[in-house]
Chain A
Amino acid sequence: MNASGRETFLSRKRVRTLAIYAAMLVLAVLMATPFVAMILMSVRPPSVVTLKDIFFSGDFTLDNYADNLRNDTMVRWFLNSLIYSVVSVIAVLLLCTMAGYAFAKKRFFGRDKMFWSIIAMLVVPGQVSLIPLFILIVKLDWANTYQGLIVPTIANAQGVFLMRQYIRGIPDDLIEAAKLDGASEWRVFLQIILPLTIPVQATLGIFIFLWHWNDFLWPLIVSQSEEMMTLTVGLSTLQSLVPSTNSMMAAAAISFFPSMIIFILFQRFIVQSIATSGIKG
């Protein structure tokens, strides 16, 4: 592109590419080190504590994992987190898509007021509602129950917003055509809207899952007994159940695996939808 000879141009570009790779690699190493450390420590016996040993010792053991998995309480916590996350994801996706569809494509009395009152909640930090919400849960006799844990978290403003934005982009003709063909409203929803929103649902789903899986304050407050605690809460009370730091790392790793699996499976959706549906993530 410029007047210099081909060779020089290529090597300059190559150097530049190499420099970029190097930078990315260094950053990747930095970002990954805590993970690597965590995994390494989780397979070390309790006696291995110094940095050198952690990285270079020859001792390996799966005892830490076995101990943790044998621990019924930990398994229970894991299941609770799973239920909390999965049920929430399904409920949120369904209800948000339904509501988003209504807001995007339908005309009805009070539509805009309803929509903006939902959006307005984006500005209110969760801590404002925390106490009254808890008191409400107690009054419903839902304290320390799954429904008390899950139901309040289904109301998700970002989800509604995202869905509405996305569904707006679906051509009206598609819907009209289906109706002309005699499809009922519900069928239109199931066979047109739902399939077309899969990318954004996948993205939303991942974030909802992650947010629930890693949630701390709400489960902390709702759970009154050890059996109802989620993994995040249970692990924070764990001060003596594990015999060593390495075992604690194994517990950390265990709690991390589901998130990682979900992420690896659905990674491409995130990039796709953030790119297409706009900025709000």
Chain B
Amino acid sequence: MVRRISPHLVAYGFVLPMFILFVLFRIWPAINGMLLSFQDYRFGRPTNWIGFENYDRLIHDDLFWHSLQVTAKYTLIYVPLTTVFALCLALLINRTIRGISFFRAVYFLPYITSLVMVSVVWLWVYRGDGGLLNSVLEAIGISPVKWLTRQNSVLPSIAVMAVWKSVGYSMMILLAGLKAIPPELGEASAVDGANAWQTFWRVTLPSLKPILFFVVVIETIGSFQVFDAMYVMTGGGPVRASYTLVYQLYDESFKFQDFGYGASIGMVLFLITFGVTMIQRFMFGDDNT
């Protein structure tokens, strides 16, 4: 005999484990984190409320503006690069010729590596003398490039590595989007006499717009949080050319133990993320997924 338990209780039974974990470990710390930015919470000292002082200090902090600028610059390089590349890959593998799953696997493979490990390999790729790239360049008679030790080239270099690493993910998403386009549209376009290029611009791209935009948003949000690569590869250098927002957050919080100040940087990050997400919702309505 099945015992009749109140359906409400049953529902709570299913949902509460996750929800409680959420409240404890996501929602509460997040609120706390925001509140922390209004406090002076430093190493070995009592905490006290200081209102907007941290933010005031932030606004006048050259290093903050610098790290924000570095992050923005990085995003401007990384996002278009990865989106376009992901789109190209997705278009290429959106077919059923033989061996396609092999190629798909190879393009996706870097995504499953850890950034820390990837850095080891890429440090060698970018090494000034004897590294992979410079050895190849030297072999064809071009003088070596200082990839990671010049401020002009460090961000693009890291961006290329990041693109290599994560393009597989966006590629898959775009691939799903491509597969969702009704084939009749493409066929109709061909019947009208359009070639592949025209079909792409007039049919494919417009159909892909929402998903493309989704990819751009996800990548932008992620790009603003970039830290691992810089921490492991360049230490934020040369001369802070790769010192990002989250790097500063890490330093202020864990190196200098100024948690309140670090939290205020976290808030800035949150506002940026929120802003970008709001733009997406505004332009494309509610989450249609």
**Do A and B share a direct contact in the complex (Cβ within 8 angstroms)?**
yes
Selected from A31, A37, A38, the residue in CB contact (under 8 A) with B164 is: A31
Selected from B34, B92, B125, B253, the residue in CB contact (under 8 A) with A20 is: B92
Cβ of B121 and Cβ of A38 under 8 Å apart?
Answer: yes
> Would you give the 0/1 interface string for A60-90, flagging 1 where the beta carbon is closer than 8 Å to chain B?
0000000000000000000000000000000
B145 lies within 8 A of chain A by Cβ: no
With the chains together, A108 CA to B139 CA distance in Å? 69
Cβ of A155 and Cβ of B22 under 8 Å apart?
Answer: yes
With the chains together, A23 CA to B149 CA distance in Å? 32
Selected from A1, A101, A233, A274, the residue in CB contact (under 8 A) with B14 is: A101
Interface residues on A, range: 35 or more
B27 lies within 8 A of chain A by Cβ: yes
Cβ of A123 and Cβ of B14 under 8 Å apart?
Answer: no
Stretch at the interface among B51-59, B67-75, B197-205, B267-275: B267-275
Instruction: List A100-146 residues whose CB lies under 8 Å from chain B.
Output: 101-103, 106-109, 111, 114, 117-118, 121-133, 136
Stretch at the interface among A169-177, A194-202, A249-257: A249-257
With a 10 A CB-CB cut-off, give which of A17, A129, A152, A160 has the most chain B CB atoms: A129
| Given the contacts A27-B107, A125-B266, A131-B36, A99 and B29 also touching, CB distance less than 8 Å | no
Chain A nearest CB, measured from B264 CB (Å): 10
| Given the contacts A34-B118, A128-B266, A182 and B164 also touching, CB distance less than 8 Å | no
Which residues of chain B are within 8 angstroms of A109 by Cβ–Cβ distance? 8
Cβ of B117 and Cβ of A217 under 8 Å apart?
Answer: no
Q: Hey, which bits of chain A sit against chain B, CB under 8 A?
A: 1, 17, 20-21, 23-24, 27-28, 31-35, 37-38, 41, 49-52, 95-96, 98-99, 101-103, 106-109, 111, 114, 117-118, 121-133, 136, 151-152, 154-155, 157, 160, 165, 182-185, 189, 210, 213-214, 216-217, 221, 231-233, 235-236, 245, 248-249, 251-252, 255-256, 259-260, 262-264, 267, 270-271, 274-275, 278-281
Q: Hey, which bits of chain B sit against chain A, CB under 8 A?
A: 2-3, 5, 7-8, 10-15, 17-19, 21-22, 24-30, 32-34, 36, 89, 92-93, 95, 97, 101, 103-118, 120-122, 124-125, 130, 132, 135-136, 139, 164, 169, 172-173, 175-177, 179-180, 190, 211, 214, 221, 224-225, 227-228, 231-232, 246, 249-250, 253-254, 259, 262-263, 265-267, 269-270, 273-274, 277, 289
